Chain A
């Protein structure tokens, strides 16, 4: 019996440290990739995108890593600038979305009627396909950066809002909150000193997990022609353009930008999930 417990414990501890190492490695690799991207983006931001009609349709080479497009523009610069723009829009929209989610989540936990209204809103938004709603909102706001930003921000909050709402409801019933209340602290004080520290990890993880969605949806809407305008170096634009040239054999126009987008999105996804594992005591134990 003792031996059994011992092996069980040791097994747990090695697995725990291995997992810990794995997590560290994954975070390190993600950080490295993001750092690489940041350096690349910084370099690309200073480079103008110019047409060079004599350098059209070049496949990837040492001089043009990602090749050139039908106007002779360097695809590496375009891709990096596009990713940067997509990332900015994604980050901004993700943060806005998280803000909306927090506001509504806390509001829902504050009263019966507010809860009904917010829950109904959450159900309403969850029952509609993201992309359709996103296109509608973006279209109403006249497209462009503003349209996509608000479109993404206004469609990605419901899941997080639900989590925040449940968490807040649970916290309200917690003993230390009740005690604090009896000691005469008002809700605002309790919210700031007791609830926020508890909600913060959820919020951080939630925001990080919204960002990849936001980036992909921004690219998706732009790809469909409802998002950023065509002269902006957005990744969705680049991918939409590449469609026309795929049948003529210019594979590099789609492959590298698409792959880069995938990597960046995966990075954020990974970051979010790792963080989730670390902050969530339930999951960390399993």
Chain B
């Protein structure tokens, strides 16, 4: 009797397992069985403001639903997209761009110079993250010729033309961000906020037609995206470095290089006063060049890359490692706490009371390092960096807080910030005197007349090469510069590789060095994606 009962139980268990196994098999096939024309992506990054380029959509990647006048190829060279060419006037103040004449929006209306004028005027007005303050006015000279009149020469203006997707003047209203109409490779079909976005190929697209007829973007948390990848429900998923050690059968890990950097921004000036809003400016400890340089030298960036990014990253020495305007001479030799100690003692920092923290007169080598709470990478970097610095006698107190609180305290405390753009103009915004205390640009009030001069020359340069030379000099000219070799207003830590798990059979083309923002930039070359 007992035996029978037990066998019955065994049978039931086997049956249950078989069914469960069958179910999981069926689920595993989920993404396979979908048509080959459809791609499911879980790359995160749902924009809160929607898909309106005039308010910042597509600034760091391709706008997908819209297209831009110029775009970047794999080597990050700017090539024509909507434009057929451009001319710069002698004084560098007028840029004339000619447009393709065969482009229509996804609603069938032709894209003309008027739409370009409208887009740039709207963007300048919206006060978005894209800084168009140097644009005086835009003028549609004829249907397919646009003239941009600048306030001052700006060689990097071409990058601006590559960052803003063109919107149709006739169909741009308050609902546009939710129902974008554009001339990009895809058009938006459905957007369920917080859940998913469905895009279909735009039949009117003038460029190379993408292989995939339909894209489904799932907006999942990192955890859920990884689980979905494991279950075979997505073809590509963005994952944090903590998950990179786990293998998923049938998927490979793509570790894409980026200039998505993280670094410590130091207040550059002594405590001098307050901003107009009453927030304190300056920090006596970090205003000491020796402190900033010693930290730069003492940090072991390789260890940070290996330890926190699981090797999926590169040590960062400047704002723009690896980009065409990167000054290779600005790279310093780091991981040398002995050298750091020597530099500090030369500058008069000693530990008289032997509490492990250096002093200079009444000043103790102690400051706070803020990071946005909830960002694990920044939290880990801040904690690990502080522990690396402590042995040389500088006490860094790490504190997580909201962006709102950071904004109030960032002029007087070190902050773990990140940048990384394909536009060299970013350097002027992060280090330029003109941007001291403007939004999150140059919160440390850094200023160096020589650096400002080089960056100005770069703006006024007439060719990209000449401009790049000046951008390099701004970083390090042999005696001074904005890099760690010069004034060291920042201690750059790492460039974070962007990690994706991708289906073995899916070819995502040749990816350029990615900008800030894990997610959308990967789709910049969506036309090249294909099944192997």
Contacts and interface: CB of A to CB of B under 8 A. Distances in A.
A209 B267 CA distance: 49
A230 B242 contact: no
B102 interface: no
A56 interface: yes
A229 B308 CA distance: 21
Interface stretch (B124-132, B204-212, B397-405, B519-527): B397-405
Given A225-B374, A231-B400, A71 B383 contact: yes
Interface string B370-403: 0001101001100110010000000000111100
Interface stretch (A47-55, A93-101, A171-179, A258-266): A47-55
Contact of A245 (B227, B242, B303): B242
Contact of B223 (A50, A231, A247): A247
Nearest to A229: B400
Contacts of A50: 387
A244 B375 CA distance: 12
Interface string A244-272: 11011000000000000000000000000
A72 B387 CA distance: 12
A243 B400 CA distance: 19
Chain B interface, >50% SS class: helix
B16 interface: no
Contacts of B379: 230-231
A70 interface: yes
Contacts of A54: 307
A229 B387 contact: no
A6 to B, nearest CB: 47
Given A70-B380, A71-B383, A247-B226, A56 B400 contact: no
B380 A71 contact: yes
Interface string B299-334: 000011011100000000000000000000000000
Interface string A27-71: 000000000000000000000001101101000000000000011
B337 to A, nearest CB: 15
B245 interface: yes
Interface of A: 50-51, 53-54, 56, 70-72, 225, 229-231, 241, 243-245, 247-248
Per DSSP, are chain A's interface residues mostly helix, strand or loop, or mixed?
loop
B243 interface: yes
Nearest to A240: B374
B307 A53 contact: yes
Contacts of B373: 225, 229-230
Contacts of B222: 244
Interface residues of B, number: 26
Contacts of A51: 383-384, 387
Interface of B: 222-223, 226-227, 240, 242-243, 245-246, 303-304, 306-308, 373-374, 376, 379-380, 383-384, 387, 398-401
A93 B304 CA distance: 40
Contacts of A71: 307-308, 380, 383-384
A81 B120 CA distance: 55
B398 A231 contact: yes
Given A50-B387, A71-B308, A244 B376 contact: yes
Given A53-B306, A231-B400, A247-B226, A70 B383 contact: no
Nearest to B375: A230
B312 to A, nearest CB: 14
8 contacts: A53-B303, A53-B306, A71-B384, A244-B222, A244-B376, A247-B243, A248-B243, A248-B245
Q: Closest 6 CB pairs between A and B?
A: A53-B307, A230-B400, A51-B387, A51-B384, A230-B373, A229-B400
